[in-house]
Chain A
Amino acid sequence: MPLGMHLIQGVVSMANSVLSVKGLSVQFQTHSEKVYAVDNISFDIFESETFGLVGESGSGKSISALAVLRLLPRSAQMSGDHVYFKTQDLLTLTETGMCKIRGRRIAMIFQDPMIALNPVKSIGSQIAEVIKIHFNLTAPDIHDRVLTLLRQVEIPSPESRINDYPHQFSGGQLQRIMIAAALAGEPDLLIADEPTTALDVTIQAQILTLLKSIQDKVGMSLWLISHDLALVSTVADRVAVMLKGCIVEVAPTMQLFKQPKHPYTQTLLAALPSFDSCSADTVLTRNILLEVKNIRISYPVRKGIFNRVVSHIKAVDGVSFSIQEGKTLALVGESGCGKTTLGKGLLNLVADVEGQVLWSGKDINGLKGDSLRRMRSNIQIIFQDPYSSMNPRMLVGQIIDEGMRSLHPQLSAKKRQAKVAELLQQVGLPVECAMRYPHEFSGGQRQRICIARALAVQPKLIICDEPTSALDVSVQDKIIVLLKSLQRHYGISYLFITHDLAVVAEMADELAVMYQGKIVESGPVYQVLNDPQQPYTQRLLNAVPKIVWD
């Protein structure tokens, strides 16, 4: 029968398509106009295939997945020729009919497992819920199925952990549990919306391998949505590229990467940072600007009624490095390794920093009052999240002006205003921006404003705490180009804190790899990336998704 149906629908394909979308549009009604989030897209996902959908944030990837499941917010309007799931048109199906499809035939996993799981219910009961809805099974049978699923997603000793709550698991484990819950309905199609974006590189690789192996075993189709081209290239059979609500190119993975047809795909590929971009001939003969000797930062653990300090958690455990004038040191590590704490420790933003921080030979650790304020203009910081790092109630001009007013009070208001305009131009923003509020800007533009704010006090060193990880690939690239050009112009040094090794290759001169509060390996970038000595560095490098060109 399916064959007959397909002939009627006119789907001509060598394999059976699981999902066939034609002419799907989603529009949002705002105050004055209609905005197309998804604009007339068509694609097919075949049986046991991995289909990758790549695009930048706001391009409509997630919306199209939600549209297929008919889970759009109320303000959205959906239209299209058809959305066939096997033989059923999801566009005309009743809501009760959709409930039988969701979770059972099509399942979805989301980006952040911390949000997607209910914190007050045990993980076992959350997986069991899915089984209970879709299958008519007895309680012991359900329990057995949950255990099987947990084993399938490789949760260690599932018998003892089935009644644990989400906060007792790590991020990677939670995503495994999400996958288990998605698999509980034995779906024909699994939609994975940025399944690894919130995770560390090494764990990211594990989750992808797991997804792939389960797919091989069960034979379902996988629709992988991601912003990361390299990641998609490692698992997908076919890739679609999405731009502003339209699918601009669909092709088998190899073909897409070797002969990208659409100019946007070409720019995306060009923007991909790769290891090859670092030069081997970095000459390191400059003066040492900052030298850190054996720094330790620990958080006290308090317990009991008197809040006594019972122990310390060592966030940074004896780290030493040095930064040269006009050069960039990259600090790489996974989340929780203490790299951000270290950055804040250098700026006196966290208490209890032990060890020496030598600024041109003078110890600046633990400075207080005026001497600290004088030091402030030398070292500045750029934060990861461009959304929370600017006061929403201040104008951009005031934000940039703030540092000058406090650290260079000798400047007149007019001079400062001129300087603000100059800085805005330097970071590539129009001067009129000074009279606008931060929320009117995109993530990349906000990061530019943050850079301008840091530059305003003429620092010699800027600590960049994951400045690009909240941004899209093409925007990332532009920010890095900007940072490098500013370095050439002003001779600033950077301490570049990141988890993204590909960015490091493009940006840094030296590299230090951090693991559990310690630096395990350091040296010139080229040397560390191409000839890693320590097992951890090797593991980290292997986990980075790379586009396989052949």
Chain B
Amino acid sequence: MILLISSVSIGVLLRNHDGLKRPLKKIAANKSAMLSMIILLFFLAVGLLDSIHFRAEGQRSSGVISVLDYCAKPLWQHTEKTYSAPFSAYLYSKEYITQDGGDKVWAFPRLQFGGSHLTNPESEKTSDLLSLLMTGLSKGLMLCMAGVGLRGLFVGKKSEQSARRYCPGFVCITISILIVGVAGLMELSMYYHIFGTDKVGEDVFYQTIKSIRTGLVIGSLTTFIMLPLAVIFGILAGFYRGWVDDLIQYIYTTLNSIPSVLLIAASILMVQVYMANHPESFTNLESRADLRLLFLCLILGVTSWTGLCRMLRAETLKLREMGYVQAAKVLGVKPFGILLQHILPNVMHIILIAVVLDFSALVLAEAVLSYINIGVDPSTYSWGNMINGARLEMAREPVVWWPLIAAFVFMFILVLTANLFADAVRDAFDPRRSQYGQ
């Protein structure tokens, strides 16, 4: 969690320190990029809220909840008995219900929380849903108005012009829509289970939101472990050739020749054994799950740097023969300077593309690994675990489809926005393409 926060702050710092205003302006001018960035930031915010933990008495077995849990208390406190469909007021399976008269009926029982305020769900539900949605939307709208008003107050009239340039109407509208939509969903989720409930009656919407953090942690942490290895080794091997190249090549061909799933399985099992042998250091479930998550990131990072490393080595081999690298040598620039000034910026596009693809692939890889039970801890909320669970749910009759769809939708949005945003960033930082943009 600390790592996540620090990585974000590094990103922000980099952004502020980079004197390159032109590319940033270009990103700002790209609508799909801004849209993806806002959604990504929203995801990030949710993940961050979920990462800030504090102790609250009598809330959970461990007594530790996150800010997100605090905000969305009804979501995790409203647990039903078992499956229920989205927006339903009834359970998904029939039970014997003792009626007022004392006779038992085989029917769908009412939910304990979802739609429990309704007396006659069949006739009232639609209008109730609409009215709830309207209240939610209007609350959101009011929030937006307040936001715009506040901005007007703070920015003042003088800098209005410059503010408009950096925060065009499009961004405001996107943020507003996002806020309004979220407010609507929040309002609804107070009284209904938007994505239904799972086998043990937990709200699926809550699970998907909690999974954002897991997805982000795995995606970004693994990338942060993998990236330095791949970049440093790849560039060094390509630039220095000789024994450095040989050594690095040996390392990654060896790593590549071991089936990575096997390696991951082995190390996860090792961690489990370690935790079993030292029960005194892992007193609660959360710390065990977190350790396992961290270790999964580490091992994923260590096994996944080879592909990028190989690409970078090949590109560096090409670049080191380029005229400008030769010229830099003749100009007496030290090797380290050449690497930093000439090689690194010119392989940046490869790194960016690879990182985004890997980020997406890692979020997906987590799902695969969870599927064969060597992923994150089963108690950790993650899209992988949800999909893993859906394996059995899909086989049920009638089909329980909502956990899979919920996980899929959120995963899809995260991966798609990350891809779109990285595309825009790459284009903006490529000077050869900037001539067409303006």
Seen from chain A, the residues whose Cβ lies within 8 Å of a Cβ on chain B are 31, 344, 347, 349, 373, 376-377, 379-381, 383, 385, 388-394, 399, 402-403, 406-407, 437, 439-440, 450, 453, 457
Contact indicator B431/A347 (Cβ below 8 Å): no
A83 to B327, CA, bound (A): 49
Supplied contacts A389-B323, A391-B324, A440-B435, 5 more A-B pairs, CB within 8 Å: A376-B331, A389-B327, A391-B345, A393-B345, A394-B345
Q: Answer yes or no: B333 CB below 8 A from chain A CBs.
A: yes
Which residues from chain B contact A380 at a C-beta distance below 8 Å?
330-331
A-facing mask of B305-349, CB < 8 A → 1, else 0?
A: 000000000000000001110111111111001000110011010
Contact indicator B436/A402 (Cβ below 8 Å): no
Contact indicator A402/B330 (Cβ below 8 Å): no
Which residues from chain A contact B21 at a C-beta distance below 8 Å?
none
Which residues from chain B contact A347 at a C-beta distance below 8 Å?
329-330
Contact indicator A453/B331 (Cβ below 8 Å): yes
A31 to B348, CA, bound (A): 27
Most chain B beta-carbon contacts within 10 A, residue among A383, A391, A450, A453 = A391
Partner of B329, one of A349, A390, A440: A349
Which residues from chain B contact A31 at a C-beta distance below 8 Å?
436
**Interchain nearest-CB distance for B275 vs A (Å):** 47
26 contacts between A and B (CB under 8 A): A31-B436, A344-B326, A349-B329, A376-B332, A389-B322, A389-B324, A389-B327, A391-B341, A391-B342, A391-B345, A393-B345, A393-B348, A394-B345, A402-B333, A402-B341, A403-B332, A403-B333, A406-B331, A407-B332, A437-B434, A439-B431, A439-B432, A440-B435, A450-B327, A453-B331, A457-B331
Contact indicator A403/B331 (Cβ below 8 Å): yes
Which residues from chain B contact A349 at a C-beta distance below 8 Å?
326, 329-330
Contact indicator B327/A383 (Cβ below 8 Å): yes
Contact indicator B331/A388 (Cβ below 8 Å): no
Which residues from chain A contact B328 at a C-beta distance below 8 Å?
402
Which residues from chain B contact A383 at a C-beta distance below 8 Å?
323, 326-327
User: Known contacts A383-B326, A406-B337; is A392 also within 8 Å of B432 by CB?
Assistant: yes
Contact indicator B346/A391 (Cβ below 8 Å): yes
A440 to B431, CA, bound (A): 9
Contact indicator A437/B431 (Cβ below 8 Å): yes
Which residues from chain A contact B431 at a C-beta distance below 8 Å?
392-393, 437, 439
Sorted nearest first, the 6 A-B pairs with minimum C-beta distance are A389-B323, A403-B331, A376-B332, A393-B345, A437-B431, A383-B323
A457 to B434, CA, bound (A): 31
A413 to B386, CA, bound (A): 58
A-facing mask of B133-154, CB < 8 A → 1, else 0?
A: 0000000000000000000000
**Interchain nearest-CB distance for A356 vs B (Å):** 20
A348 to B75, CA, bound (A): 70
A383 to B330, CA, bound (A): 12
A384 to B326, CA, bound (A): 12
User: Whose C-beta in chain B lies nearest to the C-beta of A402?
Assistant: B331
Which residues from chain A contact B342 at a C-beta distance below 8 Å?
391
Q: How many A-B residue pairs have CB under 8 A?
A: 74
Contact indicator A373/B435 (Cβ below 8 Å): no
A407 to B332, CA, bound (A): 6
A347 to B330, CA, bound (A): 7
A376 to B434, CA, bound (A): 35
Partner of A388, one of B322, B345, B432: B322
A383 to B332, CA, bound (A): 16
Partner of A381, one of B326, B341, B346, B434: B326
Contact indicator B330/A381 (Cβ below 8 Å): yes
A406 to B334, CA, bound (A): 8
**Interchain nearest-CB distance for B337 vs A (Å):** 7
Contact indicator B323/A376 (Cβ below 8 Å): no
**Interchain nearest-CB distance for A359 vs B (Å):** 15
Contact indicator B332/A377 (Cβ below 8 Å): yes
**Interchain nearest-CB distance for B226 vs A (Å):** 24
User: Whose C-beta in chain A lies nearest to the C-beta of B328?
Assistant: A402
A6 to B337, CA, bound (A): 70
Mostly helix, strand, loop or mixed at chain B's interface? helix
A347 to B322, CA, bound (A): 16
**Interchain nearest-CB distance for B338 vs A (Å):** 10
User: Whose C-beta in chain B lies nearest to the C-beta of A383?
Assistant: B323
User: Whose C-beta in chain B lies nearest to the C-beta of A404?
Assistant: B331
Which residues from chain B contact A440 at a C-beta distance below 8 Å?
435
User: Whose C-beta in chain B lies nearest to the C-beta of A387?
Assistant: B323
Which residues from chain B contact A376 at a C-beta distance below 8 Å?
330-332
**Interchain nearest-CB distance for B408 vs A (Å):** 38
**Interchain nearest-CB distance for A470 vs B (Å):** 11
Contact indicator B330/A385 (Cβ below 8 Å): no
A402 to B331, CA, bound (A): 8
**Interchain nearest-CB distance for B83 vs A (Å):** 55
A472 to B434, CA, bound (A): 27
A328 to B231, CA, bound (A): 44
Partner of A407, one of B322, B323, B327, B331: B331
**Interchain nearest-CB distance for B84 vs A (Å):** 55
Contact indicator B333/A406 (Cβ below 8 Å): yes
Which residues from chain B contact A403 at a C-beta distance below 8 Å?
331-333
User: Whose C-beta in chain B lies nearest to the C-beta of A436?
Assistant: B431
A450 to B436, CA, bound (A): 25
A457 to B348, CA, bound (A): 29
Contact indicator A381/B327 (Cβ below 8 Å): yes
A393 to B431, CA, bound (A): 6
User: Whose C-beta in chain B lies nearest to the C-beta of A374?
Assistant: B332
- Which residues of B, 329-380, contact A by the 8 Å Cβ criterion? 329-334, 337, 341-342, 345-346, 348
User: Known contacts A388-B324, A393-B346; is A439 also within 8 Å of B435 by CB?
Assistant: yes
Which residues from chain A contact B434 at a C-beta distance below 8 Å?
437
A393 to B20, CA, bound (A): 12
A453 to B323, CA, bound (A): 13
Which residues from chain B contact A391 at a C-beta distance below 8 Å?
324, 341-342, 345-346
A100 to B27, CA, bound (A): 50
A392 to B346, CA, bound (A): 8
Most chain A beta-carbon contacts within 10 A, residue among B326, B330, B337, B345 = B330
A381 to B330, CA, bound (A): 7
**Interchain nearest-CB distance for B143 vs A (Å):** 40
Which residues from chain A contact B432 at a C-beta distance below 8 Å?
392, 437, 439
A403 to B328, CA, bound (A): 7
Which residues from chain B contact A377 at a C-beta distance below 8 Å?
332
A399 to B348, CA, bound (A): 19
A373 to B332, CA, bound (A): 5
Contact indicator A388/B323 (Cβ below 8 Å): yes
A403 to B333, CA, bound (A): 7
**Interchain nearest-CB distance for B333 vs A (Å):** 5
**Interchain nearest-CB distance for A191 vs B (Å):** 32
A393 to B426, CA, bound (A): 13
A377 to B80, CA, bound (A): 79
A437 to B430, CA, bound (A): 11
A280 to B161, CA, bound (A): 70
A373 to B346, CA, bound (A): 25
A186 to B341, CA, bound (A): 55
Which residues from chain A contact B334 at a C-beta distance below 8 Å?
406
**Interchain nearest-CB distance for B152 vs A (Å):** 36
A369 to B169, CA, bound (A): 57
A541 to B324, CA, bound (A): 34
Most chain A beta-carbon contacts within 10 A, residue among B322, B332, B333, B334 = B332
Which residues from chain B contact A390 at a C-beta distance below 8 Å?
323-324, 327
Which residues from chain A contact B322 at a C-beta distance below 8 Å?
388-389
**Interchain nearest-CB distance for A2 vs B (Å):** 49
User: Whose C-beta in chain B lies nearest to the C-beta of A375?
Assistant: B332
**Interchain nearest-CB distance for B347 vs A (Å):** 10
Which residues from chain A contact B333 at a C-beta distance below 8 Å?
402-403, 406
A377 to B331, CA, bound (A): 7
Which residues from chain B contact A344 at a C-beta distance below 8 Å?
326
A439 to B436, CA, bound (A): 12
